[in-house]
Amino acid sequence: MARTTSRSTSPPDPQSPRNRTPQPLPGRRRSVGDFVKAFLAFVALAVLLVGVPGALAVFVGWPLPDGTPSLSWLQQEITVGTFINVLTVVVWFAWAQFTACVLVEIKAALSGVGIPSRVPGAGGSQLLARQLVAALLLVGATAAGFAPGLSQFGQSLEGNQKPASAASAQQTPGGLFGQERQQAAGAADALAAQAEQAAAHADGSAKDGDTKYYRIQPPEGRHHDSLWEIAERHLGDGRRYKEIYQLNKDREQPDGSKLSEASLIRPGWIMEMPADAHGGELVEMPDEAPKVSEDVKEQISDYSKTGDQRQGGGQEQGGGSSVDHDTAHIVLPEQRPAAPGKPAMPQAPATPEAPAAEAPAAEGGGTASEGFGFGLPEALLGAPLLAAGLLGALGRRRRHALWQSAVGAVGGRRGMHPPTPTGDAAAVQDALLVGADPDGVRLLDLSLRGLAASLAEENRALPTVYAAWLSNGDLHLQLAQPAGRPPEPWQLGQDQTFWVLSRADAERYEDADTAAPYPGLVSLGTLGAPEESRLLLNLESVPGIVSLSGPASDRAAVFASVAAELATNGWSDRMTITLVGFGQDLTPLAPNRLRHLEDVEALLETMEAETRQRRGALGAAGHDSVLTGRTGPAQHTRWAPHLVLLAAEPTGEDAVKLAELAADASRLGIGYLVGTESGDLPGAAWEMEITGDGKLLAPLLGLELVAQTLPEAQQRAVVRLFTEADPDGSSGPTGPGDGPAAASPPFLVDVTEQGRPAVYARLVGTYEIIGLDTPDGERSALMHEALALLLMHREGVHPRVLASALWPRGVTEDVRDALVERLRDWLGTDPDGSHRLRADRSGRLTLAESVVSDLDVLRSLYHEATQGRGSGNRAVRGRMLTDALVLVRGPLLADRPQGRYGWLTHEIIDAQLPLLVADIGLALSEFHLEKGRAEKAIEALNAALGSAPGDERLWNELLRATAATEDPARLQRVAADLLARSGARGLPARTEALLDELLPAWRSGVSAAG
């Protein structure tokens, strides 16, 4: 409803920021391809709607009987003609359904009512009708664009009889058809030119004294009105909903509430509309409101006064700008003093920077400018969340490769011993180990999921989060709009748009069965020292495009960092990251998340289809945004974000198309980060710049960060780690039959009497050290732990890796060096006077060959038995395999103290050891079965099952060995035990097939035996 008032509006400030909300988009002209598509759609509709019934009438005729069927008619023989008639009836029904779909889609497109009604049972027919109708309507839209004089002729006549506001309103039809006409007829040469025209038009309209109001209507069925649809109907473009929101936010409504989020409006509310609004539901008051009740007139009059007060106050503050401060500003949260000794939740371990002389740059590594100063890549050392994600993904990749290799031959396998990284890859792996903060990632994930679960219990929607700050041990969520008090233990921050959780409260959270609420959060950089605050931007919630300008190489480093962290982060379930024009070599990091497209054309085609699909899915589910879909019952497979990273700036029409897609992307869970040379990109909501000295600037957001980057040299090294961990993607020697050749352990020991070591450590089972006195003092536990780490890494351990493993929360350099010296003195020297703890050329700490562990002996015995001396001597093989199995006394470091040895989470030895023991058991079982010693084979297999109880190969071999005893009852008991252990998962297919072969009646006999 509209009321004409007199109000002067200040012209826009030419210096006001242009990117707090998405820029006006220039219209684009239709191409020849659009005409071709529209013509083909017209032909297809004509054929389907007219040609099909015409052909049926001419060639088949009426398929049904002319009168009521008689009994004799029903008893007639079924002929080919009968089948044709039945098929004709089916085609007539399909035609009628498709015709109904076309009518429904045309009505929805022309009226702009939003999501069209569903035709029962239509499915693909309605989708086809929607696509054809949309293409056909382009004919009318394009024709209007080529004949603007005709399209405005009638409007000029009406303008002689109606106020200027009405005339201007009629120039912008509503709905889908109107939106296409507006885009085609209003094509501009440049975005800035159109913006100036829009400002001038708004100023002129305001001088004419036009202010209009719209009253939110009650819902019709499942369809609820929204600001987007109101803007689409009455302004011709749904993206202009922000103008309506700006005019009405925080103004008191008739029911006493206020508009605080653009997605939450209620029936009965009144919306002040821009001057060019049009349509039958808008009525100018009081002159043109004969059907409006006195109560509504009074409500509008009262509402207009709140607008005068609000806008007046805004003008006193210099408010000519239309900037949406609520939806486009990121603020540094207020910090509270840190508790003594309390580390920040997400930060890297506080290992001090080593002096430049500590170690030279890693041999084969990059230059200092590429981030390899002090021997380790500094960029990864300062990116704890990225490092933790990469380290976790690398561990999973290596475990997967290990299990893949387990299905190979019983002999040694290359997958058992991942290749030792060298050069830059070794330096990057060390940097990941030092910089990673897996505990911070875990707490961030628990905190976000816990918040989502708490809100779901209270039947509250997830608030839109623009950013997260990790600062001084606390997690600060910056909301787009105030959302009330947060659930316990969260607290309000410095204002209503900040929710805060302390680290101590985060520790109280347990795993929650809920979807990850904000998987699009990604680290951009840090602000402030020494109390470093880390900013995570929620890419999927930005109201438009995030643009990044700056030197090409620096932009590429930021894009690579964002892609790598999104692909491997620990606070998401599922995600799609599309890399356009760059990053093809990054896909090995997460092939199920990362995909690469060559150019913008392919991106636009992909995202246009996905945008349509997501809009339809949200409407069908009754959700206003993906955040609504992520609450309630866990829906881990739905509403996953899709984040697009486009490193090169799109040009011309492509930029406009991309901006159109991004305008509604935030509610669909789609985010866009786009590189630009000039910094002026259509549809950019937030603009950022990366400088040559590593600063990330966003002046209009008030931010200057130390950017998080992944330079090219480190990208290559990270990708190399992943590709070498994949047995399918790595090259290596092949063995007989073109299979992978067996790999030697990283360290082989002399297993003869002459090779007795000076220092022997038992790691498999209870941790014991033979050959050394137990050191005195509180450093004893640290020295034992340091020795265990060195024994598991015979290739060497960087001093900073050692420090971060022993002191996860940081330690000074002198304390670290003092421990290394104590460890060197404790281990002593060999007979030739050389220290048993030494440093190699790269500065890594290594052990002498005289310091050995049972893990080294275990690997060496198995290697010698299967590939060395035992491979050609049966007696030697049997003795070595038996000796190896005797060494297994329990799990690795069985009695390690609580809270220590946390670095084992980054190792794959916990997966390697059970497989190695299983291989030894299988080899020894085969050795005994060759001589018919079934009981000995069963004994070896049972011993191996103690360390690898879930290994399917051991159970299958145990079934075969038990069958060799020719005792069906015993075999039945083993089958029953195996079935009980399998639980609800059931038996693997190969095991079931083996049981069918060895014990055909096992299915009926297992329950009786149990």
Last residue of a domain, one of 864, 884, 906: 906
In a shared domain, residues 895 and 799: yes
Residue 989's pLDDT band (boundaries 50, 70, 90)? Answer: confident
Count of H-run helices and E-run strands, the chain: 33, 23
Instruction: For the chain, give the percent of residues with pLDDT over 70.
Output: 71
pLDDT tens for residues 312-335? 333 333 333 333 434 445 666 665
Once rounded to an integer, what is the mean pLDDT over residues 508-520? 85
In a domain, 944, yes or no: no
Question: In 708-838, where does DSSP find H-type helix?
Answer: 712-725, 780-792, 799-806, 813-827
Strand, coil or helix: what is 984?
A: helix
In a shared domain, residues 765 and 633: no
CA-CA-CA-CA dihedral for 32, 34, 36, 40, to nearest 10: 180
Residue 964's pLDDT band (boundaries 50, 70, 90)? Answer: very high
Alpha carbon distance 915, 99 (integer Å): 63
In a shared domain, residues 620 and 765: no
In a domain, 924, yes or no: no
Of 447, 532, 521, 469, the closest CA to residue 810 belongs to 532
User: What's CA 586's distance to the chain center, in Å?
Assistant: 15
In a domain, 658, yes or no: yes
pLDDT given for residue 340 in this prediction? 41
Once rounded to an integer, what is the mean pLDDT over residues 824-835? 94
DSSP 85-131: HHHHHHHHHHHHHHHHHHHHHHHHHHHT-SSPPPPTT-THHHHHHHH
Question: In which domain, by residue range, is 46 found?
Answer: 38-62+88-109
pLDDT tens for residues 43-76? 888 888 888 888 888 887 777 666 666 666 666 7
pLDDT given for residue 75 in this prediction? 66
pLDDT tens for residues 902-926? 898 888 888 889 999 999 999 999 9
Alpha carbon distance 391, 398 (integer Å): 11
pLDDT tens for residues 142-190? 333 332 222 222 333 233 333 333 333 333 222 322 333 333 333 333 3
Phi, psi of 477 (to 5 degrees): -100, 125
pLDDT given for residue 117 in this prediction? 63
In a shared domain, residues 664 and 778: no
- Please name the residues in contact with 821: beta carbons below 8 A apart, sequence gap of 6 or more: none
Tell which wins on pLDDT, 677 or 194.
677
Whether the per-residue pLDDT at 626 is higher than 90: the answer is no
Reported as half-sphere exposure (CB side, CA atoms, 13 A), residue 649 has a value of 18
Q: Which secondary-structure segment (H or E) carries 435?
A: helix 423-435
pLDDT given for residue 461 in this prediction? 87
In a shared domain, residues 684 and 766: no
Whether the per-residue pLDDT at 996 is higher than 70: the answer is yes
Of 848, 840, 845, the closest CA to residue 760 belongs to 848
Once rounded to an integer, what is the mean pLDDT over residues 524-538? 81
- Please name the residues in contact with 294: beta carbons below 8 A apart, sequence gap of 6 or more: none
Q: Which secondary-structure segment (H or E) carries 581?
A: none
Tell which wins on pLDDT, 44 or 191.
44
pLDDT tens for residues 657-687? 898 888 888 888 899 999 998 777 887 888 8
Choose from 82-86, 116-120, 269-273, 983-987 the range with maximum mean pLDDT.
Answer: 269-273
In a domain, 131, yes or no: no
Q: List Cα–Cα distances, 636 to 415, 516, 519, 520, in angstroms.
A: 32, 8, 11, 14
In a shared domain, residues 657 and 536: yes
Whether the per-residue pLDDT at 604 is higher than 80: the answer is yes
Please, which residues bridge with residue 527 across strands?
533
Give the count of domains, the chain: 4
Token pair 């109107």 is at which residue?
178
In a domain, 983, yes or no: no
Token duo for residue 223? 């369809």
In a domain, 427, yes or no: no
Please, which residues bridge with residue 214 across strands?
271
pLDDT given for residue 836 in this prediction? 94
Alpha carbon distance 119, 31 (integer Å): 33
DSSP 156-213: HHHHTTS-HHHHHHTTS--HHHHHHHHHHHTB-S-HHHHHHHHHHHHHHHHHTTEEEE
- Please name the residues in contact with 859: beta carbons below 8 A apart, sequence gap of 6 or more: 745, 747, 748, 916
In a shared domain, residues 512 and 612: yes
pLDDT given for residue 407 in this prediction? 64
Of 58-67, 84-93, 750-759, least confident by mean pLDDT is 58-67
In a domain, 688, yes or no: yes
Residue 446's pLDDT band (boundaries 50, 70, 90)? Answer: very high
Token duo for residue 922? 């299988």
Alpha carbon distance 222, 621 (integer Å): 10
In a shared domain, residues 52 and 102: yes
Which amino acid is present at 373? Answer: G
Last residue of a domain, one of 692, 720, 748: 720
Of 732-746, 832-846, 991-1005, least confident by mean pLDDT is 732-746
979, 987 in Cβ contact below 8 A? yes
Strand, coil or helix: what is 739?
A: coil
Alpha carbon distance 958, 971 (integer Å): 9
pLDDT given for residue 854 in this prediction? 93
Phi, psi of 684 (to 5 degrees): -75, 120
Alpha carbon distance 815, 456 (integer Å): 48
Buried b / exposed e across 575-600, counting CB within 10 Å, b at 16+? Answer: bbbbbbbbbebbbbbbeebbebbeeb
517, 451 in Cβ contact below 8 A? yes
Q: Which long-range contacts (C-beta less than 8 Å, at least 24 apart) are formed by 493-498?
A: 493/333, 493/334, 494/333, 494/334, 497/326, 497/331, 498/333
Q: List Cα–Cα distances, 115 to 139, 204, 228, 658, in angstroms.
A: 22, 35, 12, 23
pLDDT given for residue 219 in this prediction? 56
In a shared domain, residues 470 and 593: yes
Q: Are strands 521-527 and 703-707 parallel, antiparallel or unpaired?
A: antiparallel
759, 889 in Cβ contact below 8 A? no
Q: List Cα–Cα distances, 131 to 40, 136, 148, in angstroms.
A: 11, 9, 26
Which amino acid is present at 529? Answer: A
Whether the per-residue pLDDT at 740 is higher than 70: the answer is no
Please, which residues bridge with residue 525 across strands?
535, 707
pLDDT given for residue 187 in this prediction? 34
Question: In 887-967, where does DSSP find H-type helix?
Answer: 909-929, 934-945, 952-964
pLDDT given for residue 695 in this prediction? 92
96, 49 in Cβ contact below 8 A? no
- The model carries a pTM of 0.65
Tell which wins on pLDDT, 17 or 548.
548
Cα-trace Rg, the chain: 36
Strand, coil or helix: what is 547?
A: strand
949, 969 in Cβ contact below 8 A? no
Residue 535's pLDDT band (boundaries 50, 70, 90)? Answer: very high
Tell which wins on pLDDT, 445 or 335.
445
In a domain, 846, yes or no: yes
pLDDT given for residue 612 in this prediction? 87
Percentages of the chain per state (helix, strand, coil), in multiples of 5: 50, 10, 40
Alpha carbon distance 559, 676 (integer Å): 12
* Edge-to-edge strand ranges of the sheet holding 270-273: 270-273, 210-215, 2-4, 284-285
Once rounded to an integer, what is the mean pLDDT over residues 794-808? 92
Residue 360's pLDDT band (boundaries 50, 70, 90)? Answer: very low
Whether the per-residue pLDDT at 361 is higher than 80: the answer is no
Which amino acid is present at 206? Answer: A
- Please name the residues in contact with 469: beta carbons below 8 A apart, sequence gap of 6 or more: 332, 333, 475, 476, 478, 533, 534, 535, 536
pLDDT tens for residues 859-894? 999 999 988 888 888 999 999 999 999 999 989 998
Tell which wins on pLDDT, 799 or 142.
799
Of 515, 533, 558, 773, the closest CA to residue 645 belongs to 558
Once rounded to an integer, what is the mean pLDDT over residues 946-953? 88
Of 681, 771, 523, the closest CA to residue 190 belongs to 681
Q: Are strands 2-4 and 284-285 parallel, antiparallel or unpaired?
A: parallel
Residue 390's pLDDT band (boundaries 50, 70, 90)? Answer: very high
Which amino acid is present at 780? Answer: S
Of 611, 585, 589, 584, the closest CA to residue 599 belongs to 584
In a shared domain, residues 802 and 885: yes
pLDDT given for residue 292 in this prediction? 58
Once rounded to an integer, what is the mean pLDDT over residues 847-859? 93
Strand, coil or helix: what is 816?
A: helix
Domain with residue 781: its CATH number is 1.10.10.10
Residue 984's pLDDT band (boundaries 50, 70, 90)? Answer: confident
388, 436 in Cβ contact below 8 A? yes
pLDDT given for residue 878 in this prediction? 92
Last residue of a domain, one of 906, 924, 955: 906
In a shared domain, residues 900 and 792: yes
Token duo for residue 110? 């022309």
DSSP 958-969: HHHHHHHTT-HH
Strand, coil or helix: what is 574?
A: coil
pLDDT given for residue 622 in this prediction? 75
pLDDT given for residue 10 in this prediction? 38
Whether the per-residue pLDDT at 34 is higher than 60: the answer is yes
In a shared domain, residues 688 and 763: no
pLDDT given for residue 468 in this prediction? 93
Mean pLDDT over all residues of the chain? 75
Domain with residue 599: its CATH number is 3.40.50
